[in-house]
């Protein structure tokens, strides 16, 4: 998958680049709107990460440019602005999703995957995300292990999905909590439920004789371990 990240902060851009490269993506960077437009005209990307506040203008201009040039890439807005009207404006202008800074890289990855799933694949199969014996239906929120329906809650489904998208990455409890409960919970205690949720999920998977891919990484969080590196 090819991603273009339009981000003017060099350190952040490098983080995004490093993480997505590790996940096996081709990640190209642009620091200005002009540079982004040039790249967009010359190459095609599966997903575009778009910052709103840029040195040479507003990122929403790029969104209009993408629309005008009929570029079919998915667009994920990454912005420090979380003013409600900006959010709505971005989505109205054709962005697929909106992520507020500061985000977790694993969250960014999950969002990119979700956009990619929605955008590029139209058949029925695409609602299924599979790994070995595990398959997840993103439409019905059902999980199967060797075609046996797994009895899990919506939050547990989201958690499993998050793990599968971020295979072989250490997911911090903070990142998992933010993914499951969103930005607005004033709940630092959520970290305890992360433990509880992961515990329940692992128990349920082992109940139907699924392989336990989830590893506890001491002091940091969890990792979904797969021996095959992701393509």
Q: Contacts with another protein in 27-56 (CB under 8 A)? A: 53
Name which of 114, 102, 169 is nearest 139 in CA terms: 114
Question: Among 2, 37, 39, 81, which residue sits at the site for another protein (rule: CB under 8 A)?
Answer: 81
- Residue 156 burial (10 A CB sphere; 0-12, 13-18, 19+): buried
Annotate each residue in 123-162 with x if it binds another protein (CB under 8 A) or - if it does not, as one string. ----------------------------xxxxxx------
Look at the block and give the residue holding tokens 């709107």: 33
> Residue 41 CB, nearest distance to another protein (Å)?
28
> Residue 64 CB, nearest distance to another protein (Å)?
21
Separation CA 212–CA 228 (nearest Å): 15
Sequence-distant (≥ 6) Cβ neighbours of residue 200 within 8 angstroms:
156
> Residue 127 CB, nearest distance to another protein (Å)?
20
For residue 19, state whether it binds another protein (rule: CB under 8 A).
yes
Decide: 183 and 103 in contact? Cβ < 8 Å. Answer: no
Scanning 29-37, 89-97, 128-136, 166-174 for contacts with another protein by CB under 8 A, the matching segment is 166-174
> Residue 134 CB, nearest distance to another protein (Å)?
18
The C-alpha angle 59, 158, 200, rounded to 5 degrees, equals: 150
Both tokens of 134, joined, read 């595990």
- Residue 91 burial (10 A CB sphere; 0-12, 13-18, 19+): middle
For residue 11, state whether it binds another protein (rule: CB under 8 A).
yes
Name which of 143, 141, 136 is nearest 207 in CA terms: 143
Annotate each residue in 91-130 with x if it binds another protein (CB under 8 A) or - if it does not, as one string. ---------xxxxxxx------------------------
Question: Among 1, 71, 128, 170, which residue sits at the site for another protein (rule: CB under 8 A)?
Answer: 170
Name which of 5, 165, 3 is nearest 73 in CA terms: 3
Look at the block and give the residue holding tokens 């329940």: 200
Q: How many residues bind another protein (CB under 8 A)?
A: 53
Q: Which residues bind another protein (CB under 8 A)?
A: 9, 11-12, 15-16, 18-19, 22, 53, 80-84, 100-106, 151-156, 169-170, 172-175, 181, 183-189, 191-193, 196-197, 200, 204, 217-221
């Amino acid at each position: 998958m090819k991603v273009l990240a339009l981000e003017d902060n060099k350190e952040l851009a490098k983080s995004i680049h490093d993480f997505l490269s590790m996940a096996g993506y081709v990640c190209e960077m642009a620091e200005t709107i002009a540079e982004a437009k040039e790249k967009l005209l010359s190459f095609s990307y599966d997903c575009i990460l778009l910052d709103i506040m840029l040195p040479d203008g507003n990122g929403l201009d790029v969104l209009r440019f993408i629309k005008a040039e009929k570029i079919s890439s998915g667009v994920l807005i990454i912005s420090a602005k979380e003013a409600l009207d900006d959010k709505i404006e971005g989505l109205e202008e054709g962005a697929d999703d909106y992520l507020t800074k500061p985000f977790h890289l694993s969250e960014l990855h999950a969002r990119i995957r979700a956009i990619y799933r929605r955008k590029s694949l139209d058949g029925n199969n695409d609602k299924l995300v599979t790994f070995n014996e595990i398959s997840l239906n993103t439409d019905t929120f059902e999980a199967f292990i060797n075609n046996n329906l797994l009895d899990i809650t919506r939050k547990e489904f989201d958690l499993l999905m998050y793990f599968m998208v971020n295979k072989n990455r250490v997911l911090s409890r903070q990142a998992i909590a933010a993914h499951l409960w969103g930005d607005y919970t004033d709940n630092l205690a959520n970290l305890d439920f992360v433990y509880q949720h992961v515990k329940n999920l692992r128990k349920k998977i082992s109940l139907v004789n699924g392989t336990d891919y989830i590893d506890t990484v001491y002091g940091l969080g969890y990792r979904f371990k797969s021996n095959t590196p992701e393509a």
